[in-house]
Structure 1
């Protein structure tokens, strides 16, 4: 009998090793072909997530309790032992024949049950046009950074289309409700209907196929997907079409909002069941569902919020008794009355903006909740980026300190992990690297010391000069005041609609001058100094272009002030000189950003067009891509709604053909020294819409040498 037990134990260990090695081996081979044989992967049972780095002969041992923990250990080893930093701009590496040895066993463990990824908006502002090749890299990035819980919205439009068919809606009516690819986040958050559509049949089919691949890979890693659940959403005309009791949805920036089906309506559970059956049929059941009713101004008048919470929860639990509801804390949501009677353990609250407007119970917050989330589980999340805007920004030390403050507070018992909840991604990698490491570091630490390790990891070797540059950035542009509620980066003036009162670009940015722009320019000079030494290093060249880009934007803002002063002084000569200088800098920025595909509008448009099967479908997808990053909406939504430039991007191609046209038009009229600001007489939307309707080609490949171009452009700042 003992031999049988021993044999079974050996089989169990073998199965565990194989199950862990399979997704991890694939990851290693994608990162560096042929590298998986240089590692020994061991999966060991544990009550909490952990990873260990060890050594056996010439092979590095990565040990952990599941594939995500093991992948996190691989990333830690690569960063802090091999000097290899895998990032959005660089997800591959050439590892040495013999890996650097681990000098002594190193163990990291975390009490964080969940490490969460994504915001609804990320699926539109960044991922609207991703194919499987790009998604595969992202899921690898997630595993490497410890993510084990992730929003998974792809294909929700196909679920809804089929549900609407079963409710008696025609194909045309369904497409009037479902938003297009560039705007589905706001449709799913109950803000608008139909904008960006109608979607094609092939679009829906491709989304189903893509989501199945995404979910398969997530399950292989053990990353728990969060599927969109049913929250009571229906088309705004549901009362007339279905005869159900819905609230008057009103409008959002001029767009019809979806209706909210009253929880007391006898058809609520019926429609919810119909929805979940279709979701299950296409994608299977999930253990986590995301529902966010009443998002951003959704009307609650006349709604029994307790009954609403119970109806949403019961429908979810009927579909899967083991399911947990995941909800975003944003503004007044989640309404305390809606979640008060949800059983503890059945709800996870994402404190979406913990770094600036925490709701977990911090009395210093402008969104203070005395009772936090009333004992429900919650995650400390960093939003950081709004609209996918490009720019350096963060609260580096504050993010660190607030995490440990929250963990040590009376609300720490219900704190179950961290989340990155950016509206747009693929930028500002240093802040996401920092946030993802928090769960694996047991005590507070200094950002300056952490940056020393970051420099060595990111660039493959330590540079005192680059560390000095990063510390300077960490104490200036990455040191946004704790109380600031600024929505993301300090926006580039080049991207603003011109006027004599330009400050922020998007309508709600709440920007403030919290740092000295000359310090950013000085940090950029240090990067330029080190450029020859690190030439060819992918991560360095990305950062070089990004930091110099920020410096050029800072200089542009300073020159804009000269333009305004010259106009007010009625000095035509100075106005001409300052205007020419401003436009020169804007075009120099365009040339600088042409050297990296990450900063090119051509990359964004190419992604969109590549998903189309016909010329007409490609044009429609390109229109979605162009509109989202410029006007965002129709004339009313852009101007009166304030949505224009919300998702502005300081990108090559967009600077030269879109932002330059606006500034040149305004500066030409300003040069006549009119009594009033000429901005009022310019139809900016007319200029902007014309660009969204074009189909001229923008290159996506690198143009020019990064290092040499950065040197030339930076030299122009003096």
Structure 2
């Protein structure tokens, strides 16, 4: 009897310990509210689940682990309490008595893994996050059912220590490790050193931050995916270490790091040294990410089968139960490299499932007849490139394609979903949709789903909001399934000016797939509802974002007038359209000043806050400014095509960076030259000075967003505007 009592006591303690992360989450989201919930962690037969129930006035949330319980909490908040926790607002005020669960509700998922993050996210969005921001993100992950996530922070310190042990000097290490805003592409073997050298305090701060991140992830039961060793070494490894390396070539104007040949006798030794440092700092993991030959890396002279075996064996020697996580992007992972890796020891992220699936979809432009050769894989949504700002999505297609993949002959190796965006904190509707797919047993319509989303996000669904979201869902969020457009329909304001300006970044592949008038109409409907939703943070964020999109659409329409009036030699109309275009650009800047999420000042402030000295703050600010504008030096920016890849339609950047480019070009165009004046403008010389400045930008909101949106829309539809421009 005593043994039974002791067992029950220990079980009770274990269950309480398992629930504590969720209690802490509730207290961070709604201080003082954890007592309104009863958290019950229950074992399950190998399947994740959550249940919603009621005991008295308290809401019961059951699940088999903290992440499942947190997902249940999020479901309750959305679909019972009308509270949507989002990147723009991760706190809420709960009512004194919570809305009851009148009948027990249960959701199960066959998705073993729900994955989060892309290498690029760590640079385009997270490069300068502190613990407070990371803590919010980890809560967001748990609430959205994420149980597997890339964890790159502090990997630079692993490399610093490892290379030091291999005999590299501090200066040599700094020539190899990239700076904070560019580490994603260094870790993917694309470049060396750009953005550095990193400071000693930077490395130590990253170590401390990563330890906190991993501690919270492990408390929740989120498996971290740590970067493993894939053969990367500094370009001079042959001379420095006497090892046999291959040259993977260049990437967008940058020399790639060397690749250590898998047949070299020191491969195992160097890999073991890497894992030793990783383990010492952050502990062992069950998942490691390795992506050799990423995005065009040369494989000539490399035995791909041997490379796969060397990488896999080094990982397994370090952590016997670990799994190799690899990104399916372009030609990667090479079939020869993965063919002899044991099934169950590799998990493939089908990085761009919504547009270029590689899992075996015959209609895909990246079709692989055999999928991933029997390896487990995840259906992933990339959606955002470069952290660009803009509404975009394939709402119904994402739903349909996921269930199609599940039912296909490759469905038995499909193990879940993943968010693999290059930049986050945008398009919340699409990420909310993807995260719900695993918990919904069968296909459904986007319009049906949007009803619940609207009520959850704003607290209620009104006829105008429904109409607005139907317009958006059938237009800008209804990108054609076969489109390979890289993210949002880019704002013309962010493009380098010319008579043929269309997209801002080099590889956008964008096309006109929706009617701009639908977006403009949706913005008007939102504004009509502003009176009854004033103060609702989610509503006001969306009001600004959708109005921003409408202004960008209007700017593109005016740009077409500029093109036509120039071709016609109509100088008065050309001047009028030019002035109107610049007016709209500055109007956009004024609108975006009302929300911190759309301010360059917030990005720069995040960067400077991580510095300990004025010099360190300036270096971090330079990283932040360069990434979102020129991206690289002149060669990488212009010849390499990287300029404006991470462009941002942000307050401050519009007024001081994009405006300069457009005014310079328009002033010359209005002289009606024989050829496009863009050919005579050295844009890089206009752009680089902004990256070197340290003028201050506000990071807090300026002005009332509703009143500003009203003023903006009055000017968008100004009755004085000529019919030519309308």
For Structure 1 versus Structure 2, the TM-score category normalised by the shorter chain is: over 0.9
Contact 1:594/1:652, CA 8 A, preserved across alignment: yes
- Post-superposition Cα deviations, 1:234-278, rounded to whole Å, max 9, x if no partner, equal 001111111100002322122110010000000000000000000
CA distance in 2, matches of 1:254, 1:478: 34
The answer for the alignment partner of 1:58 in structure 2 is 57
Report the alpha carbon displacement of residue 5 of structure 1 after superposing the two structures with TM: 4.5
Q: Would you say 1:565 and 2:547 are equivalent positions? A: no
The answer for the alignment partner of 1:20 in structure 2 is 18
CA distance in 1, matches of 2:163, 2:586: 49
Contact 2:610/2:617, CA 8 A, preserved across alignment: yes
Q: What secondary structure, in the 3-state scheme, does the structure 2 residue paired with 1:472 have?
A: helix
- Post-superposition Cα deviations, 1:484-535, rounded to whole Å, max 9, x if no partner, equal 0000000000000000000111000000000000011011110011011100
Q: How does 1:232-631 map to 2 (within 5 A)?
A: 232-631=231-630
Contact 1:228/1:291, CA 8 A, preserved across alignment: yes
Superposed CA RMSD in Å reads 0.6
CA distance in 2, matches of 1:419, 1:600: 28
CA distance in 2, matches of 1:668, 1:110: 59
Report the alpha carbon displacement of residue 467 of structure 1 after superposing the two structures with TM: 1.2
CA distance in 1, matches of 2:415, 2:3: 37
Report the alpha carbon displacement of residue 6 of structure 1 after superposing the two structures with TM: 2.7
CA distance in 2, matches of 1:716, 1:354: 40
The answer for the alignment partner of 2:167 in structure 1 is 168
CA distance in 1, matches of 2:94, 2:291: 44
The answer for the alignment partner of 1:230 in structure 2 is 229
Q: What secondary structure, in the 3-state scheme, does the structure 1 residue paired with 2:18 have?
A: helix
- Post-superposition Cα deviations, 1:626-649, rounded to whole Å, max 9, x if no partner, equal 000000000010000000000000
The answer for the alignment partner of 2:721 in structure 1 is none
- Post-superposition Cα deviations, 1:275-315, rounded to whole Å, max 9, x if no partner, equal 00000000000010000000001110010000000000000
- Post-superposition Cα deviations, 1:328-362, rounded to whole Å, max 9, x if no partner, equal 00000000110010111100000000000000000
- Post-superposition Cα deviations, 1:76-131, rounded to whole Å, max 9, x if no partner, equal 00000000000000100011111111111000010000000000000000000000
CA distance in 1, matches of 2:465, 2:217: 36
The answer for the alignment partner of 2:31 in structure 1 is 33
- Post-superposition Cα deviations, 1:172-205, rounded to whole Å, max 9, x if no partner, equal 0000000000000000000000000000000000
Report the alpha carbon displacement of residue 42 of structure 1 after superposing the two structures with TM: 0.1
Contact 2:248/2:293, CA 8 A, preserved across alignment: no
TM-score by length of 1: 0.99
Structure 1 runs of 4+ aligned residues shifted over 2 Å read none
CA distance in 2, matches of 1:711, 1:449: 30
Among 4, 20, 36, the residue aligned to 1:6: 4
Report the alpha carbon displacement of residue 564 of structure 1 after superposing the two structures with TM: 0.8
Unaligned 5+ runs, structure 1: none
Contact 1:17/1:41, CA 8 A, preserved across alignment: no
CA distance in 2, matches of 1:715, 1:103: 47
Q: What secondary structure, in the 3-state scheme, does the structure 1 residue paired with 2:274 have?
A: helix
CA distance in 1, matches of 2:512, 2:405: 28
The answer for the alignment partner of 2:720 in structure 1 is none
The answer for the alignment partner of 2:723 in structure 1 is none
Contact 1:245/1:261, CA 8 A, preserved across alignment: yes
Report the alpha carbon displacement of residue 436 of structure 1 after superposing the two structures with TM: 0.2
The answer for the alignment partner of 1:215 in structure 2 is 214
Q: What secondary structure, in the 3-state scheme, does the structure 1 residue paired with 2:91 have?
A: coil
Q: What secondary structure, in the 3-state scheme, does the structure 2 residue paired with 1:521 have?
A: helix
CA distance in 2, matches of 1:320, 1:691: 47
Contact 2:248/2:299, CA 8 A, preserved across alignment: no
CA distance in 1, matches of 2:602, 2:78: 28
The answer for the alignment partner of 1:690 in structure 2 is 689
CA distance in 1, matches of 2:485, 2:714: 31
Q: What secondary structure, in the 3-state scheme, does the structure 2 residue paired with 1:669 have?
A: helix
CA distance in 2, matches of 1:399, 1:666: 40
CA distance in 2, matches of 1:215, 1:429: 25
- Segment drifting more, 4-13 vs 33-42: 4-13
CA distance in 2, matches of 1:64, 1:251: 49
Contact 1:236/1:249, CA 8 A, preserved across alignment: no
CA distance in 2, matches of 1:429, 1:58: 31
Report the alpha carbon displacement of residue 461 of structure 1 after superposing the two structures with TM: 1.3
Contact 2:392/2:477, CA 8 A, preserved across alignment: yes
CA distance in 1, matches of 2:346, 2:656: 47
Q: Would you say 1:85 and 2:107 are equivalent positions? A: no
- Post-superposition Cα deviations, 1:139-196, rounded to whole Å, max 9, x if no partner, equal 0000000000000000000000111101111000000000000000000000000000
Contact 2:354/2:397, CA 8 A, preserved across alignment: yes
Q: What secondary structure, in the 3-state scheme, does the structure 2 residue paired with 1:532 have?
A: helix
Report the alpha carbon displacement of residue 375 of structure 1 after superposing the two structures with TM: 0.7
- Segment drifting more, 5-14 vs 221-230: 5-14
CA distance in 1, matches of 2:434, 2:705: 29
CA distance in 1, matches of 2:536, 2:680: 48
Report the alpha carbon displacement of residue 431 of structure 1 after superposing the two structures with TM: 0.1
Report the alpha carbon displacement of residue 462 of structure 1 after superposing the two structures with TM: 1.6
Report the alpha carbon displacement of residue 715 of structure 1 after superposing the two structures with TM: 1.4
Q: What secondary structure, in the 3-state scheme, does the structure 1 residue paired with 2:207 have?
A: helix
CA distance in 2, matches of 1:15, 1:417: 31
Contact 1:226/1:288, CA 8 A, preserved across alignment: yes
Contact 2:37/2:59, CA 8 A, preserved across alignment: yes
Contact 1:180/1:624, CA 8 A, preserved across alignment: yes
CA distance in 2, matches of 1:428, 1:5: 54
Q: What secondary structure, in the 3-state scheme, does the structure 1 residue paired with 2:410 have?
A: helix
CA distance in 2, matches of 1:545, 1:30: 27
The answer for the alignment partner of 2:41 in structure 1 is 43
CA distance in 1, matches of 2:707, 2:3: 66
CA distance in 2, matches of 1:96, 1:8: 39
The count of aligned residue pairs is 716
CA distance in 1, matches of 2:677, 2:248: 38
CA distance in 2, matches of 1:430, 1:449: 14
Contact 1:16/1:43, CA 8 A, preserved across alignment: no
Report the alpha carbon displacement of residue 22 of structure 1 after superposing the two structures with TM: 1.1
CA distance in 1, matches of 2:249, 2:305: 22
Contact 1:20/1:41, CA 8 A, preserved across alignment: no
Contact 2:503/2:510, CA 8 A, preserved across alignment: yes
